[in-house]
A and B are shown apart, each in its own frame.
Chain A
Amino acid sequence: MSLTDELTALLMPASVEIFLLVMACFILIADLMLTKSSKIFTYYLVLMTLLGAAALSGLTHVNDAQVSFNGMFVDDAMSDSLKWLSSLSVMMMLVYSREYLLARGLLTGEFMVLTLFALLGMDVMISAHHFLSLYIGLELLSLSMYALVALQRDSAVATEAAMKYFVLGALASGLLLYGMSMLYGATGSLELTTISNALTAGTANKTLAVFGLVFILSGLAFKLGVVPFHMWIPDVYHGAPTAMTMLIGSAPKLAAFAFTARILVEGLQAMVHDWSSMLIILALASMAIGNLSAIAQTNLKRMFAYSTIAHMGFLLLGFIAGGIEGYGSSMFYAVIYVLMSLGGFGMIMLLSRAGFEADNLDDFKGLNQRSPWLAFMMLLLMFSMAGVPPTVGFYAKFSVLNAVVQAGYTWLAIAAVLMSLIGAFYYLRIVKLMYFDNPETHAPINVGSDTGLLISLNGLGVLFLGIAPGTLMTVCAAAVKQSLLLH
């Protein structure tokens, strides 16, 4: 084999990441050369980069999983589909937030480069197959995020949110690292397959491994934002500029899913009984506290924050159930959640104007009278979040519930549906505000053609996927089957 062939075999699996890295560096420099009036060029360049990354992750798809960089990196069906979706959702976030950021002077080169680095971090997390690469990906994502939240320097709330995010995020990373080091001590490796083999063979020190697991799980719970490690979520969601909240609340959830799946399922499958019983507590507490606290909120971003906590609890149910059904349904849930979350935050930005944030519940009063179409889109999104058919949110819940019942946890399914009933109440309240109340202001809503088209696609997508959810479900199940269970 020639040197070029070897290099290709080594680098091809990571082509998306390499492309993103090169482009991010190029844009960082190119942006400095541009005059203020031609800055918008950077924006389009970033969009093209994202399009390229999405195309690359589709084009370089091969049927077999390819491991490279000495087992640190894997390119398989799950990573391809999740990277494709992540690029797409970051792209949607940029389109949604262009006007919002322009009005606030935040559409700067730094913003865009940091966004690209955040995406790079997610992609590394998605493809990592080694504790080191997992950690590097996570830190790349987190550090970019801290900076993004703090980007609005003159805003005290944003700075406070960034500070909180940073301190708690660092603590979580510490916990994670500590757990990883314990597992290293127990198994003698940082590579997931080797860890898994050592644990299965029983050569590992069980006590140490369980301690490591507890720390890793706490770190994961921090990053996912599930109870009792959820306190940063509402403050960060609320304090950050809405565009950043949207970024935090969308694509990283896909990465977090992959991260959790790689560690728990690929690495620690042998300890499934230990971690699934811990997850039951985390999931139940998240659904209960998330849904109940969301009811009390008057700020929409805070409400979405608590609803995220509840949704992440629901997502964990799939991990508890296990198997292709379980992990596949979790992945499907994550994808659908991202789609709905983008729409929800997108709507807040559409209604916001320069110097005015439409992030209070009251700002949605009488939306049906101001703009029936936008109200209808929001209605679809809210019913989807509540899990009411014919929207796709129902199928996300349905497939998770099915997996849970199949695994024999019928009581857990009953608990979960009762919690979603509580959840339905606050989503319903938004519909109530939009349709039943009179508007407080008659200020015209100026929707750009790009954002208008996107929100329509987003809302109708939720409906269309609800009518034909089969393909996406199959894709998720196939991805999980190839990536998690055949190693």
Chain B
Amino acid sequence: MIFGLPVISVAIWLPIIFGILVMATGDDRNAPLARKIALVGGVLGFLVTLPLYTGFDRGTSAMQFVELHGWIARFNIHYHLGVDGISMLFILLNSFFTPIVVLAGWQVIEKRVAQYMSAFLIMSGIVNGVFAALDAVLFYVFWEAMLIPMFIIIGVWGGPNRVYAAVKFFLYTLLGSLLMLVALVYLYNLSGGSFSIQDFHHLPIPMTAQILIFIAFFLAFAVKVPMFPVHTWLPDAHVEAPTGGSVVLAAIMLKVGAYGFLRFSMPIAPDASHKLAGVMIALSLIAVIYIGLVALMQKDMKKLVAYSSISHMGFVTLGFFIFNQYGIEGALLQMISHGFVAGALFLCIGVLYDRVHSREISAYGGVANRMPVFAAFFMLFAMANSGLPGTSAFVGEFMVIMAAIKVNFWYGFAAATTLIFGAAYTLWMYKRVIFGKIANHHVAELTDINARETVILAILAITVLGMGLYPLPFADILHESVSDLLLHLTHSKL
């Protein structure tokens, strides 16, 4: 409870209310005011999620901070919220990034500032709703509503090819979601009239139906993750989105899809999950290796990080579908870490783009000569992206590789190649951009990061190092829920 209000509801609605307030400031004459309100909203939005962490009971896998109210009685739909070890950290991660993207767009965004800030705040609330919803329709409403602000963000403040990217993003994700809707409605009728996700978990389902349900969910979630071969929207969306949009896409949106696998696909259709695990593992490994190689070839920094994200998310789905404790926990840690690292990398690219207005690697060279502080931060995040021990990324990757080797040596072997490819594409890019002689007059005129940028990057750097050196506070939260999920998965639902 915060001031007598339930924590999760506050975490969802406070940013949305601030978003509306920001929008109400009107046109760009009031831009300074809009920025300030947005920052206050973002920071408050993060602070109110902290009780979720401090008040979290690590000893149980049950849902906590549960809120249950009637909503649409006719279809037995409830306003049902709650978190467990799997979802809680993502609410924190999402709320943590909101003030950061507000700060990242502080000076850069000059057109329609209020709308920009408000879109991010509203989206932050909606995404919290996705992670906390325990009613399938409530989940679906948040899930779809999330598309609207992102569509606007990419389309209005994005790069030259923004319209194509925005429409592609929207339609790709809508396709998957609509089939998921049919699956949810089917489950509602099968369960005799309940939309509670936890009821779905215990519902016996015949094999054919399970496989069809799994495929419907797969389309919805795999597009969001994104998994090979439905990943093609992501590089487009990333490249065209403004920096803040890319950060939210990488840090948050991709996690929503992976979360869906754990909350829906696996527990609702466990037998189908086991049966199709081979396919899922194969797709994951293709993402890790093939997309890793694709990343190596990129000329555009944002595209490179986008492909790197797909490759890293392949690791996550691999961890899920080998069905053991280390695998799933490692994958979840990898998701959180990737949020920080990819978010930070996009912010770094944003710093360069704001100054030079190019994302091409070849437009840079010798940046370290002009921006030493920036180069140091960038170095840390590049190392983290390659999975260097001591950074947050190492923890998850190590656990997943270990778990994969336990199941099958070659899975682990194939997954481990990411350590090589990851290092190769990230560090090669870093070398070309940062080191060497000053490439051109644009680079020669660069100025080092200002106080605002330093604060943002420093916060992220501390988090990445902190999580890498002492991951227990994160891992601790996951443990009970993951054990319980695995136990659930061992029982057939036929």
Contact = CB atoms under 8 A, between A and B. Distances in A.
Contacts of B67: none
Interface string A382-409: 0100001110001100110110011000
Contacts of A474: 73-74
B162 A436 contact: yes
B176 to A, nearest CB: 10
A355 to B, nearest CB: 30
Contacts of B181: 398, 401, 417
Contact of B185 (A402, A429, A436): A402
Nearest to A380: B148
Contacts of B112: 368
A405 B182 contact: yes
B166 A424 contact: no
20 contacts: A368-B115, A372-B26, A379-B148, A383-B148, A394-B144, A398-B181, A401-B185, A405-B189, A417-B178, A417-B181, A424-B170, A424-B174, A428-B167, A432-B166, A435-B155, A435-B156, A436-B162, A436-B166, A469-B72, A470-B72
Contacts of A388: 144-145, 147-148, 174
Contacts of B156: 368, 435-436
A432 B182 contact: no
Tell which of B73, B148, B182 has the most Cβ of chain A within 10 Å: B182
A421 B155 contact: no
Given A405-B185, A473-B72, A418 B178 contact: yes
Interface residues of B, number: 36
A429 B166 CA distance: 11
A398 B181 CA distance: 8
Interface residues of A, number: 35
Interface in B178-197: 178-179, 181-182, 185-186, 188-189
Contacts of A399: 75
Contacts of B282: none
Shortest Cβ-Cβ A-B pairs, 7 listed: A417-B178, A389-B141, A470-B72, A436-B155, A405-B185, A389-B144, A473-B74
A402 B189 contact: yes
Interface string B163-176: 10011001100110
B290 interface: no
Contacts of B71: 470
Contacts of A383: 148
Contacts of A379: 148
A372 B115 contact: yes
B148 A432 contact: no
Interface in B317-331: none
Given A413-B182, A421-B171, A432-B163, 13 more contacts: A379-B148, A389-B141, A394-B144, A398-B185, A402-B185, A405-B186, A413-B185, A420-B178, A428-B151, A432-B167, A469-B72, A474-B73, A474-B74
A406 B145 contact: no
Interface in B57-82: 71-75
A470 B69 CA distance: 13
A141 interface: no
B182 A414 contact: yes
Tell which of A379, A388, A474 has the most Cβ of chain B within 10 Å: A388
A368 B155 CA distance: 13
A410 interface: yes
B152 interface: yes
A431 interface: yes
B406 to A, nearest CB: 39
B170 A401 contact: no
Interface of B: 26-27, 71-75, 112, 115, 137, 140-141, 144-145, 147-148, 151-152, 155-156, 162-163, 166-167, 170-171, 174-175, 178-179, 181-182, 185-186, 188-189
Interface of A: 368, 372, 379, 383, 388-390, 394-395, 398-399, 401-402, 405-406, 410, 413-414, 417-418, 420-421, 424-425, 428-429, 431-432, 435-436, 469-470, 473-474, 477
Contacts of B141: 389-390, 394
A406 B182 CA distance: 11
Contacts of A420: 178
Nearest to B145: A390
A470 B77 CA distance: 9
Contacts of A372: 26-27, 115
A427 B74 CA distance: 29
Which secondary structure characterizes the binding site on chain B? helix
Contacts of B140: 389
Contact of A410 (B27, B178, B186): B186
B152 A435 contact: yes
Contacts of A398: 137, 181, 185
B188 A402 contact: yes
Contacts of B147: 388
A379 B140 CA distance: 20
A162 B189 CA distance: 47
A61 B130 CA distance: 42
Contacts of B145: 388-390
A401 B188 CA distance: 12
Nearest to A419: B178
Contacts of A413: 182, 185
Contacts of B72: 395, 469-470, 473
Tell which of B27, B137, B174 has the most Cβ of chain A within 10 Å: B174
B74 A470 contact: yes
Contacts of A470: 71-74
Nearest to A436: B155
A372 B147 CA distance: 20
Nearest to B186: A405
A428 B150 CA distance: 13
A115 to B, nearest CB: 34
Contacts of B185: 398, 401-402, 405, 413
A381 B148 CA distance: 13
A410 B188 CA distance: 13
Given A372-B115, A388-B144, A402-B189, A436 B174 contact: no
Contacts of B171: 421, 424-425, 428
A347 B171 CA distance: 25
A470 B140 CA distance: 17
Nearest to A397: B181
A424 B144 CA distance: 13
Contacts of A473: 72, 74-75
Tell which of B112, B178, B188 has the most Cβ of chain A within 10 Å: B178
B174 A421 contact: yes
A389 B146 CA distance: 9
A109 to B, nearest CB: 43
A147 to B, nearest CB: 41
A223 B473 CA distance: 66
A429 B151 CA distance: 12
Contacts of A389: 140-141, 144-145
Tell which of B27, B141, B147 has the most Cβ of chain A within 10 Å: B141
Contacts of B26: 372
Contacts of A401: 181-182, 185
B189 A432 contact: no
Contact of A432 (B27, B137, B144, B155): B155
A55 B178 CA distance: 40
A145 B170 CA distance: 39
Nearest to B209: A410
A20 B8 CA distance: 52
A43 to B, nearest CB: 34
Contacts of B73: 470, 474
B481 to A, nearest CB: 27
Nearest to A433: B163
A428 B186 contact: no
Contacts of B178: 417-418, 420-421
A235 B30 CA distance: 46
B130 to A, nearest CB: 12
A417 B74 contact: no
Nearest to B178: A417
A425 B175 CA distance: 11
Nearest to A420: B178
